[in-house]
Structure formats: C-alpha cells, structure tokens
Amino acid sequence: MKKTIYSLLLLAVVLISSVPARSGQERLRVAVNSFDNLNNDKKYAHLSAGFSEALTQGLFQIKNILVVERQGLDRIMREHELAQAGAIDEKSAVKTGRLMGANYLVMGKYQIAGGNVRVFCRLVNVETGAVSRDHSFQVTGSLDGIFTVQDELVKRITASFGISPGTDERRRVETVNRELSLTKDEFKLYLQARKEFYLATPDSYQRAIILYAKALGINGKFALAWAGLATANLYKGYERSWNGQSYDEEYFKALAAARQAIRFAPDLSETNCAMALVHAYWLPRPKRKEAEEWARKALAINENNAEAYFAISKARGGDLEYLKKTIEKDPQYILAYNWLGLVYQKMNMIDKAIEMHRTSIRLNPKWALEYANLAYCLFLQKKYPEAMENINRALQLKPDLKPAHVIKGMIVKASGGR
C-alpha cells in the first residue's frame, strides 16, 4: 500500500474525479452547549461536557432534528471568546447560534445533592433570544440511573418542539444513553477521546485511539467507542498515506473496530457509517458498492448523518453532489471542504478551490496538508509569495510532510527563488 512521493502529489492535487450534479422539508437545527456545574465540585466537572455530548448524540437519533456537532460549537465559542465561565447567556447564545446556523441553542445547569442530580434546561430561540415557558424545564433523577435523566431530557426537548419520536427512534435514544451513561468511567474516557479526535491532527488521532482503547478495556461492548476507534485509526492512517507511509496496520485495525461496532449496535447510524467509511477509504481504491451499501443503511436510520453522505462521495472519488449534501447537513464538516477544494481544482475552478481550502483551514488551523493544498492552488495562480507563506506554514506544522516539500520546490523554481 505504499505510494511514491510523486503519486502522493498527484493524488493531492490532480486525481480527484467528480460527478456533476436544499431540497426537502426544513428541519430544526439544534446546538447543545456545555452545561454549568452549580456545585463547582471537580468530581462532577466532566458532566458539563458530558450532558452536551450525550444530548447531542441522543438528539441525533431524531430524524426531524439536525444537530450541530460539538466540535463546531466549541470552535465558534473559542474564536469569539465565548467559552469563559459565565459568558454564555441568552444574549451571547443568539450570536453563537447564528454563527452555527442553528435555530435553537440548548443550555442547562446541573446540581448534585444526596446521590441525585437535578438538571435545569432551557431552549433559547436564536432569532429572538427568548425562552418560552414550554422551552424551560427541569429533570431530577439518581446519579446511579443517570441514563434515565438523559432519556427524559431528550423526551422533554423533543416534546417542546412538538416532535413525537417513533418507536425505533426512542429505542436508539435509549441505546445511546445507556452507552453514554455519564457517571461511568468508560464514558469519561470516551469524552476525552472525542475531544482529541476533534482536534484532527495525526498526534490527536493517536491520543484518541489510546483513550478509546482504555474505554473499551472497561466495557468491551461499547459500540460508539468501537466506532470512534475505527474512524480514529482510519484518519490516522489516511494522514500517513499522504506522506508515502504504509497504513496497513491502521486500516485493518479500523476494519476490525468497525465490525465490533456493528456487532454490538447494528441499528445505530453511527456504527453503520463507520463501516461505510472503512470501505470508502479502502486501498488501493475504494470499495464503492460496499461503502454505499453501508452508508445507505446509515441514512435509512438517520437521513441527517453528514458523515454517511461524505462516505458515498469519498467512495465515488469526490462526488460533488454528495459533498454538498454533507455540508448541507453539517456546515462544520472539515473533510467535505477539503475534498470540494480538490474537486474544484480538478475542474480548473481554482478560485472556488482556494475558497474551500481556506474554509477548511479556518475550521482546523492546524491541518498541515490543507496549507499545502492551498499553497498549490496559489502556485497555479502564480501568487508565489502567498503560496510560499502557506507552504512554509504547512512545513512548520509538519516538517516531514513530503508533498509539501515537493510543492515548495515547485514554487521556488517558478519564482526564481523569490
């Protein structure tokens, strides 16, 4: 599975095929903010991000709700300095929600007392900043059975929006909430792994792999952790492949993990999507038929799964229509912008390619490969100083990135060393 440096460069800048191409009923787009810890007790501090992650995953199972992924919300808050303690109120929620393209922002607080947890939840209308009486409620339950509190929160939120989940949706919510029971040690590790995975660098993928493995060491039937382990191995290997390194080991670990995810939770969109991605990234070329079959299973369960649309696009070599569907479902999906940039580059639409690569970099400023892709596009436009600036940034982030060295040589030669 090794590639030469030249085939890597060719893959990075040329060999992307595309098939030329928001319909359907508009749905709620909801973001879930981290919850405030009223106790200020470090023992329960993880529940702040924990409630956000669990509710995000729970609401994701409801087909009439589009859920903003946590990494996108966290990025917006960091960029606009909204992450400080106490900074998020109804006024700043309006700003945050609008930046995310959300209709509502779920906000909450929790209090621990006598082995029980009380959760105060409110749904902020992003357009007005208002919280109606129907959109403010509290749920109380025991810490030992906290998954029932999570179930009830999802029920109250969906009811507030006038949505009645079907039997399959309710069952999947219960499955996810039992997997993501907030007080269990494996959930704490899973939460840390997700945070590392969202950083989207080779090192953070490796840290995520270690954390997922630790979580699975506690609970070997943790399907969402298996799915996370599959994608973390897959993307770590993908980064290695760009550098001419074999990623046989990461790939087969990803395949094994995805199979375990399906084994323990065959009816979750996330587990089917993990299997779709494995086949979409299959080397030496994607297994298109198998990737699309798994992706369509994921979409049959939840048609809002952006990653499933991306898997189909990837399996097809960069299908333009499915890349656009990916972004429609999740405007923060970084890889979709990366691939759109490559597709537009293949179509000789360099301005649009540059726009996509810049968007990808804005979403992940530490992705060395995207600076290299952007530098190559600027090189094609003979904007050599700006191209050199971006290629140097790529090499600053990852000094051993072989395609970046090749592109830098091209820039130096074309510009006469300027």
pLDDT score of 224: 96
Enumerate the domain spans of the chain. 5-23+187-415, 28-183
DSSP 89: S
User: Which of 217, 218, 214, 212 lies closest to 235, judged by CA?
Assistant: 212
Q: Which structure tokens are listed for 164?
A: 């009645």
Residue 9 has pLDDT above 50, yes or no: no
Topology given in CATH for the domain delimited by 5-23+187-415: 1.25.40
CATH architecture of 28-183: 3-Layer(aba) Sandwich (3.40)
**Residues 94, 187: Cα–Cα separation, whole Å:** 30
pLDDT tens track for 131-142: 877 888 999 999
Task: Please report the sign of the dihedral spanned by the C-alpha atoms of residue 395, residue 397, residue 399, residue 403.
Answer: negative
**Residues 284, 247: Cα–Cα separation, whole Å:** 11
Using pLDDT thresholds of 50, 70 and 90, give the confidence band for residue 19.
very low
Q: Provide the total of helices (H) and of strands (E) in the chain, helices listed first.
A: 19, 6
Global pTM reads 0.84
Neighbours of 202 (CB within 10 A): 17
pLDDT score of 5: 34
- Residues 226/216, Cβ–Cβ less than 8 Å: yes
Kindly report the backbone phi and psi dihedral angles of residue 318, in degrees, each rounded to the nearest multiple of 5, phi listed first.
110, 50
Residue 81 has pLDDT above 70, yes or no: no
pLDDT tens track for 155-205: 999 999 999 999 999 999 999 988 888 888 999 999 999 989 988 888 899
pLDDT score of 15: 31
Residue 18 has pLDDT above 50, yes or no: no
pLDDT score of 27: 66
H-state helical runs in 248-287: 248-264, 269-280
Q: Lowest-confidence range among 214-218, 364-368, 370-374?
A: 364-368
User: What string of DSSP letters covers 194-254?
Assistant: HHHHHH-SHHHHHHHHHHHHHHHHH-TT-HHHHHHHHHHHHHHHHHHHHTT---HHHHHHH
Q: What is the mean pLDDT of the chain?
A: 86
